[in-house]
Amino acid sequence: MSAPVPSRWGPRWSRWVGRFLARVLWRTEVRGRGNVPATGAAIVVCNHVGLIDGPVVHGVIPRGSHFLIREGMMSGPLGTILNAAQQITVRESGREALAQGLAVLRRGDVIGVFPEGTRGGGTAEAVHGGAAWLAIQSGAPVVPTAIVGSRRTGESVNVWPRPGRRLLVAFGEPVVLTPPDDVRGGRAKQAWAAERLAETLRDQVTRTLDTTDLELPLDDPRRETREEKDHV
């Protein structure tokens, strides 16, 4: 039995919660809102730095959106809110979540993805292929998005910043991931799209950093954990 398609009603109220957090609790500058298509399917892909990235980006996207969120976040009081907001739970292989995401896109709505998979340095050095798969299957444009300021060097990836912190969310120009004719076969197209998406997101992050005094954290707990394991 397939999972139900998320309802549009959740984002209709929850984006205003995110907007309050972004605009009132914190001081979020938003650039490139016009790059998010006003109608039709779209995939917002964003780097991932801290705990508040999801609600902030959800709040400043000029339309309702459904984000793919890992299962560990979907429990307790926060999980209750996220489920009521009709966000999409990523379980195990993620196939069910991708199917739900594709259904949302085919309905003409917005999907949000943090393709790095977890919070860290936000440099988009490595991304997972789910967003690329959605782009290929749906034909929807990808909007590369950068968030800066939600976590500073030395802060936990679970930090809830003090009120008034400056944040920046910058939406880049949408890109349609259409593999060239010489790229054949499903796996080759998927690999091409994943690499193109990663490059596009990294470019957006770099361009954003070049135009602000805000910075990404210099530490990346994910990389440090991997390095520790490599030396055990």
| pLDDT, position 227 | 40
Q: What is the mean pLDDT of residues 24-51?
A: 96
| Domains of the chain from N-terminus onward | 9-230 (3.40.1130.10)
Choice among 76-80, 169-173, 201-205 with the minimum mean pLDDT: 76-80
Strands 65-70 and 42-46: unpaired
Q: Confirm if 169 and 28 have CB atoms less than 8 A apart.
A: yes
pLDDT tens, 101-138? 999 999 999 999 998 877 678 777 777 889 999 999 99
Q: How much of the chain, in percent, has pLDDT values that exceed 90? A: 68
Structure tokens at 40: 């039709």
| pLDDT, position 230 | 31
Q: Of 26-40, 151-165, 206-220, which has the strongest mean pLDDT?
A: 26-40
Backbone angles phi, psi at 59, to 5 degrees: -75, -25
| pLDDT, position 116 | 81
Neighbours of 77 (CB within 10 A): 7
Q: What is the mean pLDDT of residues 63-68?
A: 96
| pLDDT, position 231 | 32
| pLDDT, position 122 | 79
How far is C-alpha 94 from the geometric centre of its chain's CA atoms? 15
Neighbours of 222 (CB within 10 A): 18
pLDDT tens, 195-215? 999 999 999 999 999 999 999
SS3 string, the chain, reads CCCCCCCCHHHHHHHHHHHHHHHHHCEEEEECHHHCCCCCCEEEEECCCCCCHHHHHHHHCCCCEEEEEEHHHCCHHHHHHHHHCCCEEECCCCHHHHHHHHHHHHCCCEEEECCCCCCCCCCCCCCCCHHHHHHHHHCCCEEEEEEECCCCCCCCCCCCCCCCCEEEEEECCCECCCCCCCCCCHHHHHHHHHHHHHHHHHHHHHHHHCCCCCCCCCCCHHHHHHHHHHCC
Q: What confidence category does residue 222 fall into, taking pLDDT thresholds of 50, 70 and 90?
A: low
The more confidently predicted of residues 231 and 167 is 167
| pLDDT, position 201 | 95
Backbone angles phi, psi at 39, to 5 degrees: -140, 165
Q: What confidence category does residue 8 fall into, taking pLDDT thresholds of 50, 70 and 90?
A: very high
pTM (global) more than 0.95: no
